[in-house]
Structure 1
Amino acid sequence: MTHAATPGDSAAAVAEGRPEFRVDPHPVYAALRQAAPVCPMRPPHGVETYLITRYDDARAALADPRLSKDMYGAMDAYQRIFGDSSVALDDNMLFSDPPKHTRLRRIVNSAFTPRRVAALRPRIQRIADELLDRCPAREPVDLLPRFAFPLPLNVICELLGVPESEREQARHWSATVAQTGFGPEARKALEEAEGALRDYLVELVARKRAHPGEDLMSALVRAQDEGGALTDHELVSTAWVLLFAGHKTTAYLIGNAVHHLLAHPDQSAAVLRDPELWPRAVEEVLRFEGSVENATFRYAAEDVEIRGTLVPKGALVQIALASANRDPAAFGEPDRFAVTRADAGSHLAFGHGPHYCVGAPLARLETRIALATLFGRFPHVAPVTPPQEARWLAVPFPAFRGLAELPVTLDPSPLPDDRNSRD
């Protein structure tokens, strides 16, 4: 495969999401780390952007208060990228700075404490088992729609109190929002999906207010009613970010994990021999091919110098987590997938600093259970097509790194020593 040879061409490959780049972005990121670690580029949305690719720079930028997340501070740029309709869904902790971010995050944190997440283990296990019960054995099945997506979707919907009959429609709207494009048709589809989601969540909030339950949405409504902790916009927007981030990224992470375990049979064999390796295997997948390729955008609230490059006030800053996690300055043999790796835990897949992913413990648990259950029940799971022919998402200026499909055959035959333990 031929990759761009100059920093400008490499930056264009990233910004445009060129097909060859989507198949394997890592050589391009490696070239940028060497030649232009803080690289100016102009994505299809037309807003001046600087791409950060080295680990140390990325880690520092993720916690730098001069790089703002407040969408209202960059409203012109924000609207050029996402359109006017997105504002109603993005008034949340993901697009805010302290003290607002601190207040919103504190309200949500209580749902994702280690104790609360651990209590979800039996329910996650049941969902995983039920989904695999419905998958055919010894014939092709696409694990993305049959397993990887419905597992975290059902978990987060149960947490939020979204009825089972409404979950597929919510997933469809979320998928449309995730496939943001910049042409008129894509923009129209995006606006329609955002409007439908907003209306649905407003109506769901009204239901929870009238008939509260023990779910997280009811707790958010109570927080608003009792202390005015959330505005109406913040309440709806917080529900949206939890729904979206609570399933999309984990679904792609599960898919990426299965793909690389199948592409590296020596590594899947190692973890099947020793199920205690599953937590380390999850960390290695997060480092090697995490589902969030680029952190959500930041903008320079003032002139900021990063590694000798001046990022002017008002410019957007994109942090390539996928590149930082393959930086040889941070990880030994970074392009080698190894479930026994000792340094994988320092990855930036969940970010760093104030915006470190609040749902990281849940994502880890869901992925660990998904993998241990899948490979425990079907130790001879096999790809339908060679791993090198995998189809990856093709989106402009990628935020996510995930597969478009994951066709496999599920063989329940036990291993020779019947070693099919689960997590």
Structure 2
Amino acid sequence: MSPPSNAVRYAWFVVALLFPVALLNYLDRQMLATMKASMVGDIPTIANKADWGLVLGSFKWTYALLSPFAGYVADRLGRRYVIAASLFVWSAVTWWTGHVTTFNELLAARALMGISEAFYIPAALALISDYHPSSTRSRAVGVHQTGIYLGQILGGFAGYMADSPDHGWRWAFSTCGMIGVIYALPLLALLRNPERPAETIAEKADKVAHGGVVRGLLTNRNFLLLVLYFTLPAIAGWVVRDWMPEILREKFSLGQGKAGMSAILYVQLASIVGVVLGGSLADRWMRRSSRGRIYASAIGMTLFLPALFSVGNAGTLGIAIIGLIVFGIGWGFFDCNNMPILCQITRPELRATGYGIMNLVSISCGGFGDWAFGALRDRHVPLNMIFGTFAGIALLSVFVVLLIKPNEEKPAPKPAA
């Protein structure tokens, strides 16, 4: 039986409301990478690449450490308030980033942004999954993730804004911060938390048997496998996102604007194609097999292998861009199915917490990857060796995801009045 039309419309309305939030979430992050040269030139206390890696890592480490707590808060207090508050606070911090003058201030601003942004993604993806049934869940998450990719694309053009004598990197941060602060108010008014369906006797017994959050998640074999799968490819993903503008700028002697555009535009447009294809394939595959999302995600991961090899060994900008396009398609397949797979192996009231734990492990490793990449490049380790290692990790990830055994999914709840 199909859900009522009003419920379907509101389910997609939730995605539409969160789309610009996702865009701002990653625009605010990506601008830092593409405006690096201007910021380093304007803040002389940033001494070397390792210092810049520490700036990138400070965001990830605070984001990661707060993610499980943020997910727990969203599961207990409701997604709506957590989402709106997160947007408001991180946007205020974005505005402040445009006014920092020292390395330590920038480090503190990125750490505070990591704390505030940690509350958004687990709550947002859990809310979307609450409203969307199995038949549309991967596509709905994919549409939301498209907002993330568009935010990264706009962030890729921020290098041109940084080079502009009429604007500059400070104007970019201040403007984006003000937009987010203003949008948080109507977002709070329009979002609603879903009604939880009444639990059956069997569900209550299962909840008692599996205990609380720690026991319900950390003793779940399938969840631990998903955490590992979520983490391994993300290390390469963070390095591509944070360091690729600088890699292309140095390797091919590009300007800051063109390097940022080349590093971000193609991979994110390809990711949009990936979430459309990967989400549609996964939702269709689920009609025939409960492992449909797992198979679709594994296909995306196999695309990482040639992509990372070509990026690491590219002798021309064109070859590097082709590798980034293939990487983006694979990332889209991977990205739109992580929360839907989580929904198949955990109870609804544990999903935001579960995704927060996934973020904790994944982004902590991503922060270490950012720092390690900068340190390795300071020591002139060849790019092909670094990205070849990433390709080997991606191959391991394919085997990990295929070990996950999903459960059957239940219908989506109606919105609360």
Sort the TM-score into its range (normalised by shorter chain): 0.3 to 0.5
More strand by share: 1
Task: Provide TM-score, normalisation by structure 1.
Answer: 0.32
More helix by share: 2
Higher RCO structure, 1 or 2 (CA under 8 Å, sep 6+):
2
Task: Provide TM-score, normalisation by structure 2.
Answer: 0.33
